[in-house]
Amino acid sequence: MSAPTSPADLYRHSLRLLLDKDISAWVALWAEDGLMEFPFAPEGWPRRLEGREAVAAYMRHYPDHIDLHDFPDLRIHRTTDPQTIVAEMRGVGRLVESDAPYDMTYIAVVTVRDGHITSYRDYWNPLAVQQPGADFTGSSR
């Protein structure tokens, strides 16, 4: 099955892939030169990933650290740019290392062109990564 091309449908599909822990298929949704930004990233965490390969390296070990179960409260807002959406949601699951609950609120600004994610600004709570087992990025903290 090919990925959907509307920004909202592609985003919903991307969330399903994360729940299925299919990181390679999630990364395949990205444009080769896609840009992922984390404006609230704490010291030692990446703030900007340039290109699909950088996104793949960042996400490679995500399922080994965070076991997502659901994205409740998903709301997708259209913008004046038909290729850009704003998504509000929660990601819930558990931290694999400690078995502690994981509950993060996100706001993402996502742009899709030609069926691929070209820009993804992820506004997440940096305080949540202070929990043991939350650091899947290999950051220097």
Residue range 36-46: mean pLDDT, rounded = 91
What residue segments make up the domains of the chain, in order of their start? 5-127
The torsion defined by the Cα of 75, 122, 102 and 53, in degrees rounded to 10, comes to 120
The SS3 assignment for 40 reads coil
Q: 71 pLDDT band (50/70/90 cuts)?
A: very high
Within 10 angstroms of residue 117's Cβ, the number of other Cβ atoms is: 24
Q: Is the pLDDT of residue 140 over 50?
A: no
Beta bridge partners of 99: none
Residue range 38-65: mean pLDDT, rounded = 93
Mean pLDDT of the chain: 89
What is 5-127's CATH number? 3.10.450.50
Q: 18 pLDDT band (50/70/90 cuts)?
A: very high
